[in-house]
Amino acid sequence: MSNIFSKLYNNKKRELYFERDMSPDKSRKLKTDIKENLRIVHEYLSDCDDVITRTFYMGQGNKHQMSLMFIDGMVQMQTVQDDILKPLMLFTRQFPLEYNVGEKFFNMVKEGLLTAGDVKEIDNFGEVILGILSGDTILFIDKMEKALIISTRGWEKRGVQEPSTEAVIRGPRDGFTETYRTNVALVRRRLKDPNLKVKTIKLGRHTRTDVGIMYIQGVAKPSIVDEVLKRLNTVDISCVLESGYIEQMIEGDWLSPFPQLRRTERPDVVAALLVEGNVAILCDNTPFALLAPTTFLSLFQSPEDYYERWYIVSMIRILRFIAGFFALTFPALYIAMTTFHPGMLPTDLALSIAAAREGVPFSAVLETLIMVVSLEVLREAGVRLPGPIGQTIGIVGGLVVGEAAVRADIVSPIMVIVVAVNAISSFAIPSYSVAISFRLLTFILIALASIAGLYGIMLGLLGLTIHLVTLKSFGAHYLSPFVSFRFSESKDTIIRGPLPSMEIRPGYTRPQDFDRINDRRHDTIDKAGDESADK
């Protein structure tokens, strides 16, 4: 009995799911009569003043009635006029056409007359509505149970510009835009590989946003691709305005302060990581692509790391990790050292800190909190204000207020240095999402350090390590090359080895094809008889 009930319940649930399904309702077929079709479409799109219906006759004698439907501003008017209306209305007048409504006539329109690039047949209202709303043009033909969908999408859009959040000194300057197709094309241009697959689904009940996943077949592990698709298909959300919605809906552990998908504005990063076996998720209306799986280490990497020579990159990477450490712990260390373990500092330094703090009325903890919080406020204010004023805020806040606060003995000058080093360090981390979570964790460490000094910091760091060790991003260990360590992977970790020596792809994506570089230099060098260059 209960079995039957549960079955009933399940059925009901599934119906509900279909109702809310994002794919268009394909069950309602088009009618023969064009007036009936137009009436139904207008029923769907009632009170939508931006929908334009253009009814016209083809050929001589006004016999073949046709209708175009599209949304003003979302189509390229040039295409509609030159490739649809002109051939259908003008050219056909010059030749007598036999009045023969049917499959043959329909095919003649589709294959012989329309000069638009992308034309498809559809036979249901679901796709008609979705097509109109996506910026395509629908051509209804009288006496036909089919309609033509002509791709005329084109709207005002931002051009390809240099990405603002991931600037590089050496490397391509183009970044993603808000248009999905442009973004896909930017990646495709870099990977002329038939194995590069793009699968598009629509997400968001109201937004019907195009969301595409890209991967290279034969490199990306199929289970990861399936996992990404599975998680995307479970997303049932009313709107997807930015890839951040998707990121938050499909990440495994939403209690974690760390991003489990890497996001980037740069097509070259996407291309590079696709080759390493990642899966990219591109979303319409946003210049940010998501990449899965990701590792903690990859969030400390910049695309430039692979363009520059390896000595320089290795040094920069080590600097970044030091910066990361300071971004996380510096204020907490200051509190621990001054409040709990002054004996650990060199005597001169301890004395000068004590002298600097002499007039300050607050405890070191409160002093740190005041400074760190006000710095966060300054940072936020600088982001919100328009460019020129943002810089003013930096100068007024940082220099004037900081200097005045020190003069007024509210904070000690050492504190200003500590907070400044901490802030600058956090900006040296390439990934903004990691930098911001580090700044969040700084507060936790400050609290722990004020409770138990260095032991508190160790507690915090060990807890963080435990969290990172157990965190997984789409099946890949977040701390990937360091857990289940393999020596061959160590060339692309804290340092970056010479490019020819990095012969395999990183293991965290568990790629099907491990070969990255076949070092062929020795072949030619041996031929030249230069033995000294060997090894």
**Residues making contact with another protein (CB under 8 A):** 336, 340-341, 343-347, 350, 452-455, 457-459, 462-463, 465-466, 469-470, 477, 479, 482-485
Q: Which is nearer to another protein, 163 or 453 (CB)?
A: 453
Nearest approach in angstroms of CB 482 to another protein is 6
DSSP-assigned letters across all residues of 461-498: HHHHHHHHHH-EETTEETTGGGTT--GGGGGBSSSB--
Amino acid code (one letter) for 101: V
Nearest approach in angstroms of CB 415 to another protein is 20
Q: Which is nearer to another protein, 391 or 490 (CB)?
A: 490
Nearest approach in angstroms of CB 150 to another protein is 51
Q: Which is nearer to another protein, 62 or 347 (CB)?
A: 347
DSSP-assigned letters across all residues of 244-274: HHHHHHH-S-TT-SS-SSEEES-HHHHHHHH
Sign of CA dihedral 361, 366, 371, 376: negative
Phi, psi of 486 (to 5 degrees): -125, 140
Q: Which helix (H) or strand (E) holds 203?
A: strand 196-203
Report the side by side order of strands in the sheet with 137-141.
51-58, 64-71, 137-141, 147-150, 119-122
Please answer whether residues 259 and 434 qualify as being in contact, where contact means their C-beta atoms are separated by less than 8 angstroms. Answer: yes
Phi, psi of 291 (to 5 degrees): -130, 135
Nearest approach in angstroms of CB 367 to another protein is 21
Strand intervals (E) in 340-480: 472-473, 476-477
Q: Which is nearer to another protein, 404 or 483 (CB)?
A: 483
| Distinct helix (H) and strand (E) counts, the chain | 17, 12
Q: Which is nearer to another protein, 452 or 499 (CB)?
A: 452
Q: Which is nearer to another protein, 454 or 495 (CB)?
A: 454
Q: Which is nearer to another protein, 188 or 510 (CB)?
A: 510
Nearest approach in angstroms of CB 262 to another protein is 21
Taking alpha carbons only, the member of 258, 204, 206, 254 closest to residue 232 is: 204
CA 404 to chain centre: 42
Nearest approach in angstroms of CB 492 to another protein is 17
Q: Which is nearer to another protein, 288 or 508 (CB)?
A: 508
Query: Residue 508 and residue 489: Cα distance in Å, rounded?
Result: 10
Q: Which is nearer to another protein, 458 or 499 (CB)?
A: 458
Nearest approach in angstroms of CB 329 to another protein is 11
Taking alpha carbons only, the member of 245, 304, 248, 313 closest to residue 272 is: 304
Nearest approach in angstroms of CB 258 to another protein is 15
Query: Residue 138 and residue 425: Cα distance in Å, rounded?
Result: 55
Query: Residue 428 and residue 423: Cα distance in Å, rounded?
Result: 9
Nearest approach in angstroms of CB 223 to another protein is 14
Contact residues for 500 (Cβ-Cβ < 8 A; gap 6+): 517, 519, 521
Nearest approach in angstroms of CB 479 to another protein is 7
Q: Which is nearer to another protein, 381 or 459 (CB)?
A: 459
